[in-house]
Structure 1
Amino acid sequence: MEQEVVFMIKIVQNGNVYELDFRYDPKLIELVKNVPGRRYIPQTKRWEIPVDNLGRFLNEIKGTAYESQVQTYSGEHINENAHVEVTDKIPDEDISDITHYVRAGGHLYPHQIDFLKYMKHRQRNGFILADEMGLGKTLEIINMALYHRDAYHYQHCLIICCVNTAKFSWKEDIETHTNGCETAYILGTRKKRNGGYSYGGGAEKLSDLTTGCMYGDASCSKLPYFLIMNIEALRTREGRVYTIEQQLIEMIQQGQIGMIAIDEIHKNASPKSIQGKRLLNMKKKTGIAAEWVPMTGTPIVNKPTDVYLPLKLIDGHTYKDYWSWCQHFCLYGGYGDHDIIGYRNIPQMKLMLKRNMLRRLKNDVLELPEKTYYTEYVENTPAQCKLYTKVTNELVSDRDEIVHSVNPLVRMLKLRQVNGSPELIDDTISIDKSYLSKNAKLVRVMELIDDIIDRGEKVVVFSNWTAPLKTLYRFIATKYKVCCFTGTMPEESRQKHKTVFLNNPEYKVMLGTIGALGVNHTLTSANNVIFYDDPWNPATKHQAEDRVYRIGTTKSVNIYTVIVKDTIDEVVNNILKNKQDMSSYIVDNGLDIRNNPELFDMLVGHGR
């Protein structure tokens, strides 16, 4: 048998060019010729390409046999998978003048005391608060804001929530940790005639800010120190004027807002989004008049596009604009050289972060009980198997169309629905007594819930979608008292469900969508989590499971993931587990099929 020839392509940086060193190969040469600015050097018998076009070349060989035969020697640290380093030095500041705020019967942990030292040492210079999820960033910000009110005479601290539902948690935490001495006000709140509150849109929020009074009513109380709003409010506009942004700029310039904390800034705050641009404009117009504190539990140092905005808000870099930043830290390729296919110069960005970020990990600062993972495999029922084969064949026949579509994952969703909600694909399946014989995953989840409740423990069940939770509720609610928290529920209703789950021992099951319940909630009354289905990326899953694994956790935590064997479930789970090796597949918090067509074959089972 003839042995396959293995080509090795050495890419060596030499100043402003990369030299390509490889044995003569006509096919590879044709790919090199597609790179703008390439030239052949007869003296060295090597090809050269401009530094800025390395991404174009890597994209040309993507999906070919050459892709795995590349060795790159570069001072730009191409695709270096660097992790955020923890903060190893805390300034020795005297904090005897700082009052500690914490709920009755509670106390600040040592790492939160260190936060006060770090914060005081920074004076009014903002920083990125990047403590790992579950370490109490909210409480730290509350203490910081109240100290700075006394030290620097701030009139208001504005909390901007990048996850809309987080505003309720912030209000509750502020009032709880100050033992009712402080009021937190959600902009746009309005009293209902029959009692309770509603939460208005941009017009109501703007009215609150312009009148300076709660409920937009000049006869009501003045706005309190803590103001809370969702980031989407910055999109409010009249004609060409972004009215809420403009009002906030005026309040900052007049000294009314002294501190701005942005919660979960890695979500919904892209520099290219309207709200991201509004934040940048606010910073540009107000300079150092306000102190900014971007917050995130999951900083991704090997994704520079997420780091530009928070660093810009705290004057952590001097890049003029987002384009300049991306030119330095991103590799471009694809159609028109507009797709980001890799990253570079990561060590430079790490240094910027280290100078401007406070980062601690739970394992380093807390003594938490053990977290144990369980993978629960099931096999589809005969009805599901038949349906799965049918959907797979349809997808394979439309492969090229799907791969090149704007959002290929939408089409792939059908396979996941077969596994978890087959009735969504086959309308002849009814949710009746016979349904359990047609949904193996649901049966296993119900068995797990039975076991957990028999132990006298509580459980949170997560799904990406509402449909499977509705079905699960119909069966579980006949046996147990169940709470729910999804994006389709009214705000007031789901907050009530959350309160009941946390405080009523008779309610042991919480069903929630990952999008609504997977961030900014503390659910430590439970010590079990079941994932009915995996999210598309590992960071989202980690955030969701840590709702029960944080300060306040006293029991060992069990994380169950239910997977249908030999299906898309197993492929997605493997990608999440091996995120270091599969990082190229995960772009913008999802699986990138368009730039990784082989991923389609893996998901449908033709690439194993």
Structure 2
Amino acid sequence: MKKMKVDDLIQSTWDQLRSYQKEGIETMLHRTHNLNYDDMGLGKTISTLVTAIIKSKDIFEDKNLEKADYSEHILIVCPKKALYVWQDEIQKWFGFDSIIYAGTKRQREKMTALTNDMCKLDFFPFIITTYGMLDELRGVLSWRGIIADEIHEAGLLNHKTKTYANFSKYIGKVKWSFLLTGTPIRQGVIDCYAPLHLVDPSVFKNYWQFVNSYCIVTDTAFGKQIERNPRDIKGFRKILDKYMIRRLKSEVLKDLPGKQRQPISLEMTKKQAKAHQDILKEFIYNDEDTLVVSQNAMSAMLRARQLLVTPRLLGIDEDGAAFDYLKEEGKYLLENNKPFVVFTPFRQAIPLIADVIHSIGMGTKIYTITGGLKPSEFANQWQGFMQDPSTNKVLLCVIKSGASFHATVASDCFFLGYEWDFNLNSQAEDRLCRLGQTNFVNCRYLLHKGTVDENVKERLNDKNNASNWIVGTEQQYQMMLKAVRAKVLK
């Protein structure tokens, strides 16, 4: 642990921050509650930690941090996979130990009994837990402030969720709170109500008042429908600016090498093409060795998407075009000492992709990230990939698990399949394209001719979505406004 006065500790970290991070901290220091919607990869974690310590300096004793009085604590709430990320950042930047409240019921019961004594005897100003544990920690300790990470994953964009109800019981009793996400919009303007109600319930009193004040509501055959954009985009953005910080990498990280999405057009193999046609048209594929049956159109679409990753996911003895491409390009990268990342929407594809990697690079170290990992296992996998001194390594990741970790030692990634929620793909890309990256990032999307993949390029590069109108930066907003006006004049 660093033996430094708190002011010196803050200053030593401050000196390492970028100007936009310092500006964000200055803004947060003047707010009781704040929504940090900075783009993914801009360093929200460290900015928030610095602000939290400055706001809570009085709980530390200035002369000797080891004798600090922890009658109050700082609570960090995050998804399970991010528990060790926060703990590592606290240790890395400040040298502070922290308590992770998680694990089995028996482990948590023991931890609850010990936590008060531990905090009195040792240096534990931060308690880190998951959203599912909020009920258990309420009343155990006194909280000075609360940091909520990845609020879009936790359900804090929806005021009807159980997580939202549990979190609401904390936020009114702390002196400050910071809510963090790089994905603030999913459905549209209605996603803004729940976070705004948390940070300022005196203004955003209830759901229907918000809808009637800011939303466009239309009557349909299925009932009332709330449109994606607010009634007054410009006016609503001004309201958001009172509570929100939002910057893009393209605007504040001028020295970041950047990234490109490269659609790779592939021709399906003969067997793959026949299976694709049969599954979508007949809901059934049958050859000498394999029978694939779909119950309905939705099931057929899922199987078709799996088929495009590799026919082997459906039990068909065929690698498919995407695997053939990965073998060729992956071998080239490994031979040139370039580690890379492979993303896929299907967890079942991970061991099959691992077999492909082993076939092209004997001795290649493979790290895997899937949704079922324990927090410690998740940390071991991504940290292992980052810290392994060898360049003969590959990280395999399920797209929905592509958050709360860094993979900046790689500058190439492949998407074998993709999520239809653009935010999930973008979040995965930004595991590579973020602070710490020194090379241009190339994101290859392996797309197949004659399939639904043909339209994905437009979907992936669509800049005119509702989220940018609502929470985009001023520069982004002006660019979109200019584009719309030009289109109208035509």
TM-score band by shorter chain is 0.7 to 0.9
Matched, 1:314 2:217: no
1:212 is matched with 115
The equivalent of 2:292 in structure 1 is: none
Identity of aligned residues (%): 25
Aligned to 1:526: 410
Q: Which residue of 1 aligns with 2:343?
A: 462
- Residue identity in the other structure for 2:99: Y
CA offset at residue 209 of structure 1? Answer: 4.5
Q: How does 1:145-294 map to 2 (within 5 A)?
A: 145-151=52-58, 155-161=72-78, 163-178=79-94, 181-188=95-102, 199-201=103-105, 204-205=107-108, 208-209=111-112, 211-213=114-116, 224-234=124-134, 243-244=135-136, 247-248=137-138, 250=139, 256-269=142-155, 270-283=158-171, 286=173, 289-294=174-179
Residues 1:415 and 2:415 are matched in the alignment: no
Amino acid at match of 2:10: T
Match of 1:37 in 2: none
Find out whether 1:114 has 2:1 as its counterpart: no
Closer, same or farther: CA 379–170 of 1 in aligned 2, 3 Å: same
After superposition, give the CA deviation of every residue in 1:100-145 in whole Å (9 maximum; x if it has no partner): 3549xx82112222233223333xx111112211111101111112
Match status 1:483 vs 2:364: no
Q: Equivalent residue for 2:189?
A: 304
Q: Is the 8 A contact 1:333 1:341 kept in 2?
A: no
Residue pair 1:415, 1:568 contacting (<8 A) in 2 also: no
Work out whether residues 251 and 257 of structure 1, in 8 Å CA contact, stay in contact via their aligned partners in 2: no
Residues 284-343 of structure 1: CA deviation (Å, up to 9, x unaligned): 5x3xx3311111123339822221122122217623222432344252544551554544
Q: 1:332 to 1:231 in 2, by over 3 A?
A: farther
Q: CA deviation at 1:497?
A: 2.4
SS in 2 for 1:511: strand
Describe the shift of the 1:414–1:98 C-alpha distance in structure 2 as closer, same or farther (beyond 3 A): same
Partner residue in 1 for 2:440: 556
User: Hey, what's the Cα distance between the residues in 2 that align with 1:219 and 1:280?
Assistant: 25
Alignment CA distance shift 1:579-1:385 (3 Å): farther
SS across alignment from 1:233: helix
Change (3 A) 1:97 1:472: closer
* 2:321 aligned with 1:440: yes
| Amino acid across the alignment from 2:175 | A
Structure 2 gap ranges (5+): 1-5, 61-69, 285-294, 468-490
Give the superposition deviation at 1:411: 4.7
Q: Which of structures 1 and 2 has the larger relative contact order (alpha carbons within 8 angstroms, sep 6+)?
A: 2
Residue of structure 1 equivalent to 2:47: 140
**Aligned residue runs from structure 1 range 422-437, under 5 A:** 422-425=311-314, 427=315, 429-430=316-317, 435-436=318-319
In the alignment, the residues of structure 2 paired with residue 149 and residue 464 of structure 1 have an alpha-carbon distance, to the nearest angstrom, of 41
> What pairs with 1:70-109 in structure 2 (closer than 5 Å)?
99-100=10-11, 102=13, 107-109=16-18
**SS of the residue 1:355 aligns to:** coil
Does residue 331 in structure 1 map to residue 217 in structure 2? Answer: yes
Which deviates further from its counterpart, 334-343 or 264-273? 334-343
Report deviation, 1:576. 2.7
Larger radius of gyration: 1
Q: Displacement, 1:97?
A: 8.1
Structure 1 contact 331–344 (Cα < 8 Å) conserved: no
User: What's the CA shift string for 1:546-605, capped at 9, x where partnerless?
Assistant: 11111111112111111111212223443233363799xxxxxxxxxxxxxxxxxxxxxx
Whole-Å separation in 1 of the counterparts to 2:441 and 2:244: 29
Query: Structure 1 residues 470, 340: closer, same or farther in 2, change over 3 A?
Result: farther
Offset from partner CA, 1:452-502 (integer Å, 9 cap, x none): 223322211111111222111012124222211112344433432222211
Residue 383 of structure 1: aligned partner: 271
Aligned 8 A contact 1:332 1:342 in 2: no
Partner of 1:543: 427
Q: Give yes or no for contact 1:391–1:415 (8 Å, CA) kept in 2.
A: yes
Matched, 1:355 2:239: no
CA distance in 2, matches of 1:377, 1:454: 24
1:151/1:119 Cα in 2 relative to 1: closer, same or farther (>3 Å)? farther
Q: Say whether the 8 Å CA contact 2:146–2:171 is kept in structure 1.
A: no
- Between the aligned partners of 1:361 and 1:212, the Cα distance in structure 2 is 39
Provide the aligned length of Structure 1 versus Structure 2.
433
Query: SS at the partner of 2:33?
Result: coil
Candidates 122, 126, 147, aligned match of 2:33: 126
Give how far 1:535 is off: 1.2
* Counterpart Cα distance in 2 of 1:540 and 1:529: 15
- Structure 2 vs 1, CA of residues 470 and 176 (structure 1 numbering), >3 Å: closer, same or farther? same
**Where in structure 1 are there 5+ consecutive unaligned residues?**
1-94, 189-198, 235-242, 584-608
- 1:69 is matched with none
Describe the superposition over 1:489-547 as per-residue Cα deviations: whole angstroms up to 9, x where unpaired: 4443343222221111324211111122x111111111111111111122211111111
1 or 2, which has the higher helix percentage? 2
Query: How far does the alpha carbon of each residue in 1:60-82 deviate from its partner, in whole angstroms, 9 at most, with x for none?
Result: xxxxxxxxxxxxxxxxxxxxxxx
Paired letter, 1:227: I
Of 561-570 and 302-311, the range deviating more from structure 2: 302-311
Q: Secondary structure at the match of 1:555?
A: coil
Where does residue 574 of structure 1 map in the other structure? 458
Q: Distance in 2 between the 1:258 and 1:220 partners?
A: 16
Deviates most, 478-487 or 464-473: 478-487
TM-score normalised by length of structure 2: 0.80
Cα 1:220/1:422, change in 2 over 3 Å = farther
Q: How does 1:365-376 map to 2 (within 5 A)?
A: 365-366=252-253, 367-376=255-264
Cα RMSD of the aligned pairs, angstroms, is: 3.1
Residues 411 and 207 of structure 1: is their aligned pair in 2 closer, same or farther, counting only changes over 3 Å? farther
Does the CA-based 8 Å contact 1:534-1:573 persist in structure 2?
no
> Does the CA-based 8 Å contact 1:185-1:223 persist in structure 2?
no
CA contact (8 A) 2:347 2:398 kept: yes
Question: Do the aligned residues in 2 keep the contact of 1:537 with 1:576 (CA within 8 Å)?
Answer: no
Contact 2:75 / 2:145 at 8 angstroms: preserved in 1? Answer: yes
Question: Is the 2:280–2:301 contact (alpha carbons within 8 Å) kept by the matching residues of 1?
Answer: no
Aligned partners of 1:462 and 1:513 also within 8 Å:
yes
CA distance in 1, matches of 2:394, 2:433: 17
C-alpha distance after superposition, 1:343-366 (max 9, x if no partner): 432444322210111222222222
Which residue does the alignment assign to 1:509?
394
